[in-house]
Structure 1
Amino acid sequence: MDNTTYIALSRIDTLTRSLDVTANNLANTNTAGFKASREVFSDYIVKQKDIHQLPGGKTETYTQDRATYQDH
């Protein structure tokens, strides 16, 4: 696979995780004593240089799901 596929998959994976956490929080809003969860993401911006492009290259952003924590 090429880099663009890995970039798209990393973003899709983090968005899916974010949707899961949000759905869990919404499903349990009326539960007594429920502590909401939050997610932590980090983005890596990589500057790529290609022979066929203008000077400066292009940037690619990789996203990683770092952690999920409870909001006390």
Structure 2
Amino acid sequence: MKTIFVQFKCRPGKAYGVADALVQDVAEISEVYSTSGNYDLIAKFYLEDDQDIGHFVTERLQTVDGVADTFTLVAFKAFG
């Protein structure tokens, strides 16, 4: 399994709708949080080893209604 974190910049007034859509429609999601700063949400996803990160983000996440921009981080090792 691969772990990625994706930050979402949402169109005004759409952050809660985007969060709800992610939880309802994207099976790979682990959790999603609202945040302050440059992005409105951050979500954690677990992808299969053979699943393409670029296709997942561009086709499954960036197309969610209300998403204006994303920033993807690939995680290597969990500590703790």
Q: What is the TM-score normalised by the length of structure 2?
A: 0.30
Task: Please report the TM-score for the alignment, with normalisation by the length of structure 1.
Answer: 0.33
Larger helix proportion of the pair: 1
